[in-house]
Amino acid sequence: MKSIWFEKLTKNGYRLTGPLKTVVEVISGTARALTPIEIFEIAKTKNNKIGLVSVYRSLEKLEETHLVQRVHQPSGCQSFVPSTDHHEHLLLCSTCGEVKVFEGDELGDLIRSISDQTGYVITDHWLQLFGKCEKCQK
């Protein structure tokens, strides 16, 4: 997976710096939504010279190339997860941060109702559901 990310980054004109490689290694290897601070803390164990600013810059590059997507947590803190190639919805554990991707678009009636109520022509949607994973329920 990392090599695909590196290839996409270089095709988009980004130089593969040490900090960028480290951030890719952290994010591409996790099943959790990670905040920039969490990414920094994990990255620091792999590259003790990495700075928080480098993490934020790397996240910007990864988001611009659609390799990661931003997750808006109920607490207001933003996290990041690897993107997929297709439309998906996210289940996020509010305790451990685990992310599960699920597909399904049985939202037609709701979208039509909202469109009728607001006058908006809805062209896309992004669904995030929060709860507790099976491990955290125990």
| pLDDT tens, residue by residue, 111-123 | 889 999 999 998 8
The DSSP annotation for the chain comes to -HHHHHHHHHHTT----HHHHHHHHHHHT-SB-B-HHHHHHHHHHH-TT--HHHHHHHHHHHHHTTSEEEEE-TTS-EEEEE--SS--EEEEETTT-BEEEE---TTHHHHHHHHHHH---------EEEE--HHHH-
Question: CATH says 2-133 is which class?
Answer: mainly alpha
Write down the domain spans for the chain: 2-133
Q: What is the pTM of this model?
A: 0.76
| pLDDT tens, residue by residue, 36-55 | 999 999 999 999 999 999 99
